[in-house]
């Protein structure tokens, strides 16, 4: 089923990365030389998404600027004959009118952020990408869209059983190794309460009916309006599937995951990999 719109919730405060995120949106933190949000947008584009909806907040204007022309920069690069850099900043531009912004006026949770985009989505399924979850390899969203036949879908991966309190955790039904029927999902259960160690990673496709559910504004874990709770409430009314994606996910909401992502992505870059690999071998880091 065709999915052409995607929501990018980018209103979070990024407190785990202070002081870096005091004035800089956390989604603008770079992995090597590209902001996290650009990776998410590129993954969505690779999956055929043509309409990009950002749910922003105060202090997030750097994201809007990033996806707009920088006329001064472009004229300097042109004048100096820096064609590669010019191509880089021009090629990342989206078609005029394909990017919209709506503000989440208060940090009331992921479910609330998604609900804020309802009028821009209308009556069709929509993808959601959390830029903190950086996925290296084939577009996870593309894998999901190829298999999507309606209802709700989440990406999942196995996590260490000690880490369940950081994720939405599913109860699995029928499992063909790639797609799993979701019988239940709960937000951030303690390890002794977790039904499995299959954790939701920040990629979703939701049916339009989910917005009505989100509109009830029921608070869940952490006093926030949770997307997970609305997904759970739709079980039995709409199909709910989890997808094991084939890429590698980095938790760029954590410092360790962010550092690991930088190393993994740099090792894949022709201009950096040899020197970095050599340095990692030679340096007495331990
Ligand atoms: C959010 C979701 C959670 C999901 C996670 C994936 O939590 O609420 O269900 O497992 O993203 O990264 P957050 O990390 O924003 O606390």
Decide: 228 in ligand 1 pocket, CB within 6 A: yes
User: Of the candidates 202, 258, 224, which has an alpha carbon nearest to the alpha carbon of residue 17?
Assistant: 258
Q: How far is the CA of 126 from the centre of ligand 1 (A)?
A: 18
Do 183 and 231 contact (CB within 8 A), yes or no?
A: no
Mean pLDDT of the chain: 95
Domain that holds residue 47: 5-272
- The CA distance from 70 to 72, in Å, is 6
- 252 belongs to a structural domain: yes
Burial category of 196 from C-beta neighbours within 10 Å (exposed 0-12, middle 13-18, buried 19 and up)? middle
- 230 belongs to a structural domain: yes
User: For a pocket test of ligand 1, which of 9, 113, 200 has the largest count of ligand atoms closer than 8 A to its C-beta?
Assistant: 200
Do 208 and 125 contact (CB within 8 A), yes or no?
A: yes
CATH number of the domain that 170 lies in?
Answer: 3.90.550.10
Report the pLDDT averaged over residues 99-114: 94
- The CA distance from 221 to 188, in Å, is 7
- 282 belongs to a structural domain: no
75-85: per-residue pLDDT in tens?
999 999 999 99
- 279 belongs to a structural domain: no
Helices (H), the chain: 36-46, 61-66, 71-79, 83-91, 110-115, 118-121, 140-147, 210-214, 227-233, 255-267, 273-282
- The CA distance from 266 to 111, in Å, is 34
Beta-carbon contacts of residue 33 (< 8 Å; ≥ 6 apart): none
- 120 belongs to a structural domain: yes
Q: What angle do CA 168, 173, 174 make, to 5 degrees?
A: 130
- 284 belongs to a structural domain: no
Report the pLDDT averaged over residues 135-146: 96
| Token pair for 1 | 């089923």
User: Of the candidates 240, 242, 4, 246, which has an alpha carbon nearest to the alpha carbon of residue 140?
Assistant: 246
Total domains present in the chain: 1
- 277 belongs to a structural domain: no
For atom 7 of ligand 1, the residue with the nearest CA is 167
- Top-confidence range, 13-17, 214-218, 223-227, 266-270: 266-270
How high is the pLDDT of residue 1?
A: 75
User: For a pocket test of ligand 1, which of 202, 224, 229 has the largest count of ligand atoms closer than 8 A to its C-beta?
Assistant: 202
Backbone angles phi, psi at 171, to 5 degrees: -100, 120
45-88: per-residue pLDDT in tens?
999 999 999 999 988 899 999 999 999 999 999 999 999 999 99
- 281 belongs to a structural domain: no
- The CA distance from 281 to 154, in Å, is 38
Report the pLDDT averaged over residues 221-230: 92
């Amino acid at each position: 089923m065709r999915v052409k719109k995607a929501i990018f919730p980018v209103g979070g405060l990024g407190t785990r990365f202070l002081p870096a995120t005091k004035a800089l949106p956390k989604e603008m933190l770079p992995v090597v030389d590209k902001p996290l949000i650009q990776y998410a947008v590129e993954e969505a584009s690779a999956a055929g998404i043509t309409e990009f909806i950002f749910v922003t907040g105060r202090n997030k204007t750097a994201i809007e600027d990033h996806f707009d022309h920088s006329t001064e920069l472009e004229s300097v690069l042109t004048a100096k004959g820096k064609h590669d850099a010019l191509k880089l900043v021009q090629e990342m531009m989206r078609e005029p009118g394909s990017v919209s912004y709506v503000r989440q006026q208060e940090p009331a949770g992921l479910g609330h952020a998604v609900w804020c985009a309802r009028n821009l989505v209308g009556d069709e399924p929509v993808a959601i990408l959390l830029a903190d979850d950086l996925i290296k390899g084939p577009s996870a969203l593309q894998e999901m869209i190829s298999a999507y036949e309606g209802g709700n879908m989440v990406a999942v991966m196995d996590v260490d059983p000690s880490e369940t309190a950081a994720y939405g955790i599913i109860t699995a039904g029928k499992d063909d190794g790639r797609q799993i029927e979701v019988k239940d999902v709960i937000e951030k259960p303690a390890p002794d309460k977790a039904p499995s160690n299959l954790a939701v990673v920040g990629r979703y496709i939701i049916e339009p009916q989910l917005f009505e559910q989100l509109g009830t504004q029921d608070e869940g874990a952490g006093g926030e309006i949770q997307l997970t709770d609305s997904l759970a409430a739709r079980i039995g009314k709409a199909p709910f599937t989890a997808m094991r994606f084939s890429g590698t996910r980095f938790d760029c909401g954590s410092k360790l995951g962010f550092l690991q992502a930088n190393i993994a992505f740099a090792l894949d870059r022709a201009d950096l990999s040899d020197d970095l690999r050599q340095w990692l071998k030679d340096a007495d880091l331990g």
